[in-house]
Amino acid sequence: MKKSYFLPIACFGCLFLGAFIGQKLENQPITTNVIRHAQSLLGLEFTEAEADSMIFDVTDNRRNFEEIRKISINNEVAPAIAFNPLPIGFTFDKTPSKFIPSTNPSVKLPVNKSDLAFMSVRELAELIRTKQISSLELTQFFLERLKTYDKQLACVITLTEDLAIQQAQKADSEIAKGKYKGLLHGIPYGAKDLLAKKGYKTTWGSVPFKDQVLDYDATVITRLEEAGAVLCAKLTLGELAWGDVWFGGTTKNPWNLKRGSSGSSAGSASSVSAGLLPFAIGSETLGSIVSPSSECGTTGLRPSFGRVPRTGAMALSWSMDKLGPICRTVEDCAIVFNAIKGTDGKDLSTIDASFSFNGNRKDLKGIRIAYLKKDFDRNYPTKSQDSLSLATLRKLGAELIPLELPNYPVGDMTIILSAEAATAFDELTRNGKDDAMVRQIKNAWPNSFRASRFIPAVEYLQANRLRTKLIQDMETKLKDIDVYISPAFGNANLTLTNLSGHPCVVLPNGFRSEGRPTSITFMGKLFGEGKLLEVAKIYQDATDFHKKHPDWLKK
């Protein structure tokens, strides 16, 4: 049906597509000439007789589209087609989940309170547990930093100050009564503003939605509240989850205020990097946790597809969207992930799988670690930093196994994302409100949404069939591997694994000559976050890059 949808509108290329799609089409007759003109867009060729035979069906299909369009479908409604990243023969780890954080650190309240800004969740949790500081004091400290530094960074959309004070007071009351919930109890955080919080705007960073208020809480927000965490801010995202430009400006990289923080989890990475919050929730469809974490020098976890429920989160691509934490340390990512993972009975893509993590693991014994040798051997901008990372892993006892990823045209396969994103914002294109979005260049959503109307359903499904083969081949490649290491950028890994649904941790591994952080990627097996996080933590504990911060923010 999709092929015939594109046929009738293809010959009207002289019109502005965004406006044309919103018009009624019944009065535009479909002729063999229309079909013959349209066929070139599909890379197909029909005879005159074949084109003539199609006229009735194509016209009828167009009428079907018009009838369906009369019914408004909100963004949160998922299609009745669920993506499953599990390869044939995949078996889950049957070990019961067991989360073991690192041994209680010996932490003293710093004499200089500004040092709190760059302490980890694990350290701050110990200060709260031992009652050296209250949640209210800590929350007020971070709220003040958000107010002070957001002027330069543009990383906050909505400061949830009243809510944060209320939640912090509640945490202190519970802790005083001996009802300590765990490592997130009383810890301030921020959420990318594609996650709904009842009573507050959820803007998706976009002009057409900047006054939107949703009457429910995202599951991730609810779970963090249940863990006792304190929501201080709704953070910026590139408009509709692309880049770092939103309706209020460009979110900045704390290491270089002349640069954007990258995106689309722009505010999440910027705020954590700047010490405005201990952790934040981001999302990734095609690099939106990895890219800003790399730019800003934070540690980010992109979980396996299906690990964290997306209920209450803006949908961009139902088969590729993933939610995950952006933190200072790998262990902080594990702590937050442990609180937000698991099924919720609403997001039908979620899978209940075991998660075991031991924060006290000190060696790599028994863990099979590979690396993308050909990618590391080539010349690229961060080769020296990555080479030192591989050397560090070898010193830690890793026997790195050369690995090559399956060879697929993964860039071409991102028509899956394009088609799903255009569907998620179908009405925005048809009603012309996409014209109000900030970025109107070729490489931005408004143009992408319009162009994606010309992706036939046949080709979308063919790309997904190829994706099935990719998933199967990845399973074969990783059969005897627990974790593998990849450069963060410049190769196929980021796109390939976003399509296959594999988890990754990206963390800082050095600095460029001008002072900006560099990063490296640790990849895990599907639902293998436990070993992935353990290996990444062991590496991070042997380095100090995550402990470096921009000098101008150490006040």
Active site residues: 192, 264, 288
* Residue in this structure with the two tokens 């504990």, named with its chain if needed: 541
| Separation CA 251–CA 271 (nearest Å) | 10
Tokens of residue 242, six digits: 């692309």
Longest alpha-carbon distance in the chain: 85
Q: Are 508 and 330 in contact, with CB atoms under 8 Å apart?
A: no
| Separation CA 246–CA 153 (nearest Å) | 13
Of the candidates 224, 243, 236, the residue with the CA atom closest to the CA atom of residue 171: 224
* Residue in this structure with the two tokens 């006229």, named with its chain if needed: 55
Bridge partners for 524 per DSSP: 483
Beta-carbon neighbour count of residue 2 at 10 Å?
18
Using alpha carbons, list the distances in angstroms from residue 485 to 164, 196, 396, 407, 509. Answer: 38, 34, 14, 17, 12
Q: Are 119 and 161 in contact, with CB atoms under 8 Å apart?
A: no
Burial of 404 (0-12, 13-18, 19+ CB in 10 A): exposed
| Separation CA 519–CA 296 (nearest Å) | 9
Using alpha carbons, list the distances in angstroms from residue 316 to 325, 352, 439. Answer: 18, 23, 17
Tokens of residue 65, six digits: 């589209």
| Separation CA 512–CA 295 (nearest Å) | 11
Cis peptide leading into 264, omega within 30 of 0? yes
In single-letter form, the type of residue at position 34 comes to V
Q: Are 293 and 327 in contact, with CB atoms under 8 Å apart?
A: no
